[in-house]
Amino acid sequence: MAQTTHPPGTGGHAASGDGSNRRDFLYLATGAVGVVGAASAAWPFISSMNPAADTLALASIDVDLAPVAEGQAITVTWRGKPVFVRHRNAKEIEQAKTVNLGELRDPVADEARVKKPEWLIVVGICTHLGCVPLGQKVTDPRGDFEGWFCPCHGSHYDTAGRIRKGPAPANLVVPTYAFTSDTKIRLG
């Protein structure tokens, strides 16, 4: 402890020419270790807020499409979110296919958004601020492009679930799914 009683400025090695000395280095090194330690200690706390194992272990769900007639749509819950399944008619498919991609905000061809043209499957959450758009029922407002209309802030989606008008930045998300048979899909 006697070493620490040096008058200020004479501790450790003599100051080198550029004004920094061993003590400055030790301060910085100690500080850096402290920051790393604090960040390591904070990590478990922050990580605990992310989805837990049981939340992540969400089973895939199977959906039977057979009862959904042409022009109808159903909503299924997957990962706590609504998923829209729409059985498109020929006119809707035609509308989705003939759009000039250049005029889309989030340009994706209709073919890239469906596995079978008559079945459009999208997550029913507006990409603006997360509302559920209207348009699943025939009596719902479907917006200017006959897909979906989000009443919260006025986003219009077309028959391929693509954003056409309003504040949303992106198309409705296409979830991971596969056809397990001609009329059955597995989500997730």
Nearer CB in complex with another protein: 117/141: 141
Tokens of 113: 């958004």
3-class DSSP assignment, residue 80: coil
Contact stretch for another protein (CB under 8 A) within 65-73, 96-104, 111-119, 150-158: 150-158
Q: How far is the CB of 32 from another protein (least distance, A)?
A: 24
Catalytic-residue membership of 6: no
Nearer CB in complex with another protein: 23/79: 79
Measured CA to CA, the distance from residue 170 to residue 101 in angstroms comes to 14
* Interaction residues for another protein, span 71-100 (CB under 8 A): 75, 77, 79-82
Measured CA to CA, the distance from residue 161 to residue 146 in angstroms comes to 10
Interaction of residue 137 with another protein, rule CB under 8 A: no
* Interaction residues for another protein, span 16-75 (CB under 8 A): 46, 49-52, 55, 58, 75
Instruction: Spot the catalytic one: 6, 128, 153, 156.
Output: 153
Q: What angle do CA 169, 170, 176 make, to 5 degrees?
A: 155
Residue 113's contacts (CB-CB under 8 Å, 6 or more residues apart) are: 120, 122, 160, 161, 162, 171, 174
Q: How far is the CB of 42 from another protein (least distance, A)?
A: 13
Q: Strand 163-165 and strand 155-158: pairing?
A: antiparallel
Give the interface with another protein as residue ranges (CB under 8 A): 46, 49-52, 55, 58, 75, 77, 79-82, 125, 128-134, 150-154, 167-169
Active site residues: 153
